Amino acid sequence: MLRGGEGLQVVDVRETWEAEICSIDGARLIPLGELPARAAEIDPAVPVLLVCHHGARSMQATMFLRAQGYDRAMNLAGGIDAWARQVDPAMATY
């Protein structure tokens, strides 16, 4: 789904300084603390993949969005760290 990019929203819930180190192309940065105020920026009709460093914050974000009716919200298990190690080894890690 990530490689195709069509029909998927990627939302990075890390802090700005973290996204400056590495990020998934096309991801929208909405830090977890801003998510309640900015959830309307996410289309509930389109699947949304939530990303953080190791998967804990993005799981919280996934649970929050699902409680708000975003039944197509999902978490990237292992976060961007696992993505960098398993999918894109050229990506910086921290």
Give a yes or no: residue 46 inside a domain. Answer: yes
Q: Is residue 92 part of a domain?
A: no
pLDDT at residue number 7: 85
Report the chain's mean pLDDT, rounded to a whole number.
93
Say which CATH number the domain at 36 has.
3.40.250.10
23 is a domain residue: yes
Q: How does residue 63 score in pLDDT terms, banded at 50, 70 and 90?
A: very high
What pLDDT is stored for residue 3 in this prediction? 53
Say if 31 falls within a structural domain: yes
Number of compact structural domains in the chain: 1
Per-residue pLDDT reduced to its tens digit, 8-28: 999 999 999 999 999 999 999
Q: Is 52 a catalytic residue?
A: yes
Domain that holds residue 61: 9-86
Inform me whether the pLDDT recorded for 94 exceeds 60. Answer: yes
Distance CA 31, CA 93 (A): 18
94 occurs within a structural domain? no
Per annotation, catalytic residue among 51, 52, 61, 65 = 52
- Listed in sequence order, the residues at least 6 apart from 20 whose beta carbon sits closer than 8 Å to its beta carbon are none
Task: Yes or no: say if 27 and 79 are a contact pair by the CB < 8 Å rule.
Answer: no
Distances (CA, A) of 50 to 11, 14, 46: 5, 10, 13
Give the pLDDT of residue 1.
Answer: 56
Residue 18 lies in a domain: yes
Q: Is residue 19 part of a domain?
A: yes
CA dist., res. 82 & res. 58, Å (int):
13
Distance from chain centroid for Cα 70 = 14
Residue 64 in 3-state DSSP?
helix
Residue 2 domain-assigned (yes or no)? no
